[in-house]
């Protein structure tokens, strides 16, 4: 039987900082005399719209802070439900309940409460009261199974949008040890009708493989261009427009994945010296683009991290923190309409289409004047043109020399 925190159950609450991300991963490990009795790891944020005193609506996003309390969390038993309760200071609290049944447990009654009387979190709110939003979702998980979901689960419960991702959860843990048996959410499961596009020997075609059909060449489709924007409070701080195609070589077999903006979630953060855009969908746990400031004058793409799942069930994970792409002056944007190839590693490249990005100094939510990638090519055209001109002059000099030499010999023969 699991004891409550008041009677001695031990609770460990850890916040993990993920690089430049302003969202903290929570790890809750409730224990009793046998060991772990409830384990949960996840990330979440909430976008809340509220009315202000000037009769306008204001929208804010609340991420998990680096300080929180967990009063009221408990393991539960055969007769009592388990629960996790998190408090973000005075303004926000969050809770989820777990009920044990014969062969499974249910995850239900996810409740978010927020107090708009906290002027620090909800500046200018017209209603000074506590609001409660209950998520009606109910998940059933077999006992002795850990539930996992890396994809972003989004619930639009007006006026609140809740997002959860990176979930590893097991309630009513058996014998004090977290199970190795997994139940993966539907969003993480690759649809059986979708297969990876694989290169054939002809570089201009691809082959789609399915378990029951013979591979047939098909053209590689161009990815759809997506628009991504990150806000810092009420201000847009990062803009990105691009079509993305991921090229992965796994065990000498190349795979191509087009990112569909319609089914892709994005988050990010902005700091004075760094900014991040993170993409996530059913196959991609995360794809990070991390930008940095160079010499207080220019920005560039410094780092790319990816963790995704391939159709064969394997995971692919690459990180490169020493890149130098998309270099442009601060206060401007970087643009490249033609296809570009970003080589992150030997096994991973990203092809970009119709790219435009500005990770710093965004004004009024719009792109500033762009530095075009063609300017980099123009820098090479000048020395090439000069070299070609000099080569032409040299050829003319040599021709004149040989013509003059021939005439000289002809004159001697006539004498």
Could you list the pLDDT tens digit for every one of the 415 residues in the chain?
333 333 334 444 433 333 333 445 788 889 988 899 999 988 888 999 999 998 899 999 888 776 777 788 999 988 899 999 998 888 899 999 999 988 899 998 899 999 999 988 899 999 889 999 998 778 889 999 999 888 888 888 889 988 888 899 999 998 899 988 888 887 776 543 333 433 333 333 333 333 334 444 455 689 999 999 999 888 999 999 999 999 988 766 778 889 999 999 999 999 999 999 999 998 899 999 999 999 899 999 999 999 988 776 678 889 999 999 999 999 999 999 999 999 999 889 999 999 999 999 999 999 999 999 874 444 444 455 556 666 666 777 777 766 766 655 555 544 4
Q: Would 110 be classed as within a structural domain?
A: yes
Residues 182 and 39 grouped into a single domain: yes
Tell me how far apart the alpha carbons of residues 233 and 59 are, in angstroms, rounded to a whole number. Answer: 8
Instruction: Tell me, yes or no, whether 235 and 366 share the same domain.
Output: yes
Q: Is residue 203 part of a domain?
A: no
Assess if residue 39 is contained within a domain: yes
C-alpha span between 96 and 136 (Å, rounded): 11
341, 356, 372 - which closes a domain: 372
Distance CA 26, CA 28 (A): 6
Q: Write out the two tokens for 45.
A: 């944020």
The verdict on residue 4 lying in a domain is no
Handedness of CA 258, 261, 265, 269 (dihedral sign): positive
Query: In this structure, what token pair is assigned to residue 231?
Result: 């806000």
| Residues β-bridged to residue 200 | none
Q: Which domain CATH number covers 72? A: 2.40.160.110
Which residues are 111's β-sheet partners? 95, 134
Are both 182 and 231 inside the same structural domain? no
Question: Measured between alpha carbons, how far is 388 from 381 in angstroms, rounded to an integer?
Answer: 10
Residue 62: what pLDDT? Answer: 86
CA distance 43 to 55: 33
Residues 238 and 302 in one domain: yes
229 and 163 inside one domain:
no
Q: Could you tell me if 24 and 64 are in contact, meaning their C-beta atoms sit under 8 angstroms apart?
A: yes
212 domain residue, yes or no = no
Domain final position from 372, 388, 405:
372
How far separated are the first and last CA of the chain, in Å rounded? 124
Domain ends where: 141, 163, 188? 188
Number of domains making up the chain: 2
Question: Are residues 237 and 226 in contact, defined by beta-carbon separation less than 8 angstroms?
Answer: no
**Cβ atoms 309, 315 nearer than 8 A:** yes
Q: Do 262 and 170 belong to one domain?
A: no
Let me know whether 160 and 266 are in one domain.
no
- Asked if residue 282 belongs to a domain, the reply is yes
User: What is the sign of the dihedral through the CA atoms of 152, 157, 161 and 164?
Assistant: negative
Handedness of CA 124, 129, 130, 131 (dihedral sign): negative
CB 261 within 8 A of CB 226: yes
Same domain, 33 and 154: yes
CA–CA separation, 13 and 224 (whole Å): 41
**Do the Cβ atoms of 258 and 226 come closer than 8 Å?**
no
Domain that holds residue 174: 26-188
Residue 8 within a domain: no
Residues 184, 235 share a domain: no
Residues 175 and 231 in one domain: no
In a domain, 21, yes or no: no
State whether 181 and 262 are in the same domain.
no
42: its two tokens: 């996840």
Strand partners, 343: 349
Instruction: Verify that 237 and 182 share a domain, yes or no.
Output: no
Phi, psi of 221 (to 5 degrees): -75, 150
């Amino acid at each position: 039987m699991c004891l409550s925190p008041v009677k001695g159950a031990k609770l460990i609450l850890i916040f993990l900082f993920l690089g430049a991300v302003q969202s903290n991963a929570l790890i809750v490990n409730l224990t009793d005399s046998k060991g772990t009795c409830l384990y949960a790891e996840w990330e979440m944020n909430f976008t809340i719209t509220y009315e202000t005193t000037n009769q306008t609506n204001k929208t804010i996003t609340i991420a998990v802070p680096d300080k929180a309390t967990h009063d009221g969390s408990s393991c539960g038993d055969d007769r009592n439900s388990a629960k996790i309760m998190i408090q973000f200071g005075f303004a926000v609290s969050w809770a989820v309940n777990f009920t044990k049944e014969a062969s499974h447990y249910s995850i239900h009654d996810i409740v978010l409460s927020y107090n708009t009387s906290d002027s620090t979190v909800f500046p200018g709110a017209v209603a000074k009261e506590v609001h409660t939003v209950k998520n009606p979702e109910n998940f059933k998980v077999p006992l002795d199974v850990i539930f996992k979901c890396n994809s972003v689960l989004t619930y639009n419960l007006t006026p609140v949008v809740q997002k959860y991702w990176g979930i590893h959860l097991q309630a009513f843990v058996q014998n004090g040890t977290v199970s190795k048996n997994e139940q993966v959410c539907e969003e993480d499961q690759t649809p059986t009708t979708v297969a990876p596009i694989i290169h054939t020997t002809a570089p201009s075609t691809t082959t789609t493989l399915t378990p029951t059909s013979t591979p047939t060449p098909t053209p590689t489709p161009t990815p759809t261009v997506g628009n991504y924007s990150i806000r810092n409070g009420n201000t847009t701080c990062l803009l990105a427009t691009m079509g993305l195609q991921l090229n992965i070589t796994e065990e000498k077999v190349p795979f191509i994945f087009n990112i569909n903006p319609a089914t892709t979630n994005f988050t990010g953060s902005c700091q004075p010296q760094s900014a991040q855009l993170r993409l996530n969908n059913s196959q991609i746990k995360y794809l990070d683009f991390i930008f940095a400031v160079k010499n207080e004058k220019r920005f560039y793409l410094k780092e790319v991290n990816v963790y995704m799942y391939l159709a064969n069930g394997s995971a692919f994970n690459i990180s490169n923190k020493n890149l130098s792409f998309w270099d442009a002056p601060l206060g401007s944007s970087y643009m490249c309409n033609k296809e570009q190839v970003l080589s992150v590693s030997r096994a991973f490249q990203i092809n970009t289409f119709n790219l435009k990005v500005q990770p710093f100094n965004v004004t009024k939510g719009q792109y500033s004047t762009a530095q075009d990638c063609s300017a980099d090519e123009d820098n090479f055209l000048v020395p090439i043109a000069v070299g070609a001109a000099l080569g032409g002059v040299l050829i003319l000099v040599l021709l004149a020399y040989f013509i003059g030499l021939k005439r000289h010999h002809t004159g001697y023969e006539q004498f």
